[in-house]
Amino acid sequence: MPAFMRSEGPFALYDHSLRTMKPDFPESEPTVTDQAALKALQRYEGELQRLKQLREAEKAIFINSIEQSKH
């Protein structure tokens, strides 16, 4: 981090590399940042799954309407 970006007090920038430098931090326990990232990933995957289901339903309706118009 550049020296001009270093700050003291309540406006200090959070450095993600500092969390691994703590010797008393248990490696088996996920950090708050890791937990938040995992939850965000799970939400994203859930949204993708719902979007896929929606698109598949729209596709089925579209194909069904084409089949109906042919007969």
Q: Is 10 inside any structural domain?
A: no
The residue among 43, 45, 16 whose CA lies nearest residue 31 is 16
pLDDT band with cut points at 50, 70 and 90 for residue 28: confident
What is the residue range of 68's domain?
A: 30-71
Instruction: Specify whether the CB–CB gap between 13 and 5 falls below 8 A.
Output: yes
pLDDT above 90: residue 6 = no
In a domain, 19, yes or no: no
Number of domains forming the structure of the chain: 1
Q: What is the tens place of the pLDDT at every residue in 35-50?
A: 898 999 999 999 999 9
